[in-house]
Amino acid sequence: MANCIQCGRKLPAFSFKKICQWCAQHEAAQRGEVDEDAKQHVIPAPWVRRDSGVTLTQFLFGANLALFLAMALASGSIESFPFPVSLRLGANVGPYTLTGEWWRLLTYMFLHGGIFHILMNMWYLWNFGNLCESLYGRWTFLGIYLVTGISGGLASIAWNVQVWSVGASGALFGLTGALIASIYLGEFSPSAVSNTGTLTSLIFWGAFSLIFGFISPGIDNSCHIGGLVGGLALGAAIAKFAPRQEQAPRRVLLFIAAGFVLAVCALALAHHYEVPLRIGRSPFHH
């Protein structure tokens, strides 16, 4: 299904037009071809939510804040958190993750290293998450967030098994990669993003995070890159095989395939580090 080249709205199936009904009427009015008192049909923009209640973006935002408060109470500080606190609450630590505590690949993306870390990530999630959720749909948005967060966690372990990783940035880079692929392959119009004023935020946050990660010690840039690559691949697959939100069964199959690929990668990592496959409490705990 094509998009209007001006506003990014979805065009009707089998339509050969390049602009939507609203944009065509608007252009006609500007040319003076429509009476001033003619009824203007308003078509909601694609990024405007049509339902009420708590969005998944807001839920993710709240979950990150709740765990940040838990880490602050456990450590008595908000500037930075010691390793034992992060480990206890679910940081992605290669030796622990690979020896049975695979759940860390999920929990790490809701933890942060300190106040600056969470402020940066939550600023981006708040500005960009609702847009992605509206464009992709609630459950596809969540699937991309979690799958690419896991891919970032695996990339972190693959790059350096001894590094411990926390933060939502792997998943956020995944959303960025998915949106880039969707725009490039024609699933979404660039104007659907730029019209909301978030395109600049997207570019700024991504560029700043990557550059800051390369020049600063202690930043897990491999997680960022792993999430970005996972997002590009998943976004491209969705754009090609299930671009419409109504194609839920196809999207489910894509996420099952993505989960299978991640499982194979996890097994390959365990084999590479010569760790026996197991699920449960890591023997590193005393």
Active site residues: 169, 224
Contact residues for 115 (Cβ-Cβ < 8 A; gap 6+): 78, 79
CA dihedral in degrees (115, 119, 122, 128; nearest 10)? -160
β-pairing, 164-165 vs 92-93, is antiparallel
Look-up of token digits 């997002």: 231
Q: In one letter, which amino acid is 238?
A: I
- Helices of type H across the chain: 21-30, 56-75, 83-89, 94-98, 104-107, 115-136, 138-159, 169-184, 190-194, 199-215, 221-241, 248-272
Do residues 117 and 167 make contact, with C-beta atoms less than 8 angstroms apart?
A: yes
For 104, half-sphere exposure in the C-beta direction (CA atoms, 13 angstrom radius) is: 29
How far from the centroid of its chain's Cα atoms is residue 107's Cα? 15
The CA R_g of the chain, rounded to the nearest whole Å, is 21
d(CA 91, CA 22): 49
What is the rounded (10 degree) CA torsion for 212, 218, 222, 224?
-50
Closest listed residue to residue 6, CA positions, set 62, 45, 33: 45
Burial 108-120 (b: 16+ CB within 10 A, else e): bbbbbbbeebbeb
Alpha carbons 27 and 30: distance in angstroms, whole number: 5
